[in-house]
C-alpha cells in the first residue's frame, strides 16, 4: 500500500473497554460479551474496511463520556488511527 493512500483519523471518544480488541482483534478478546464485540466489528467495518494501525494517547482521557464512539457512556481515550 502506498503511503499517499493512508489517512490519519483521530477519535477522542473511543471506549476504554474496547481498546484491547481494537488493537489485537476481537478474536483475541475473551471477556467482552458478543454485543460489545459486534459494536467493535461494526465500528471497524464502517470506518476502516481496509484495515488500520492505531496508537492510544493514554494521557488524554475522559473519565465519563456521555457520547462514546459506540456503546454506553464510559471512560474514553483519544486514539489515532492510520488507515491502510
pLDDT > 70 fraction of the chain, expressed in percent and rounded:
96
Residue-number span of the structural domain to which 15 is assigned: 3-83
**In the β-sheet with 52-65, what is the strand arrangement from edge to edge?**
8-15, 74-83, 52-65
CA 16 to chain centre: 9
Q: What is the pLDDT of residues 14-35, one digit of tens each?
A: 999 999 999 999 999 999 999 9
Provide the domain count of the chain: 1
Q: What is the mean pLDDT of residues 35-45?
A: 97
6: helix, coil or strand?
coil
Q: What is the mean pLDDT of residues 5-16?
A: 96
Helix (H) or strand (E) segment spanning residue 54? strand 52-65
Q: What is the mean pLDDT of residues 27-48?
A: 96
Confidence band of 3 (pLDDT split at 50, 70, 90): low
pTM: 0.91
- Statement: residue 2 has pLDDT above 60: no
What does each C-alpha distance from 26 to 18, 35, 73 come to in angstroms? 9, 12, 21
Mean pLDDT of the chain: 95
Amino acid at each position: 500500500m502506498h503511503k499517499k493512500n493512508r489517512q490519519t483519523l483521530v477519535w477522542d471518544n473511543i471506549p476504554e473497554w474496547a481498546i484491547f480488541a481494537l488493537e489485537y482483534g476481537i478474536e483475541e478478546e475473551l471477556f467482552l460479551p458478543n454485543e460489545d464485540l459486534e459494536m467493535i466489528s461494526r465500528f471497524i467495518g464502517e470506518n476502516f474496511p481496509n484495515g488500520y494501525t492505531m496508537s492510544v494517547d493514554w494521557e488524554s482521557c475522559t473519565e465519563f463520556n456521555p457520547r462514546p464512539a459506540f456503546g454506553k457512556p464510559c471512560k474514553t481515550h483519544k486514539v489515532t488511527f492510520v488507515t491502510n
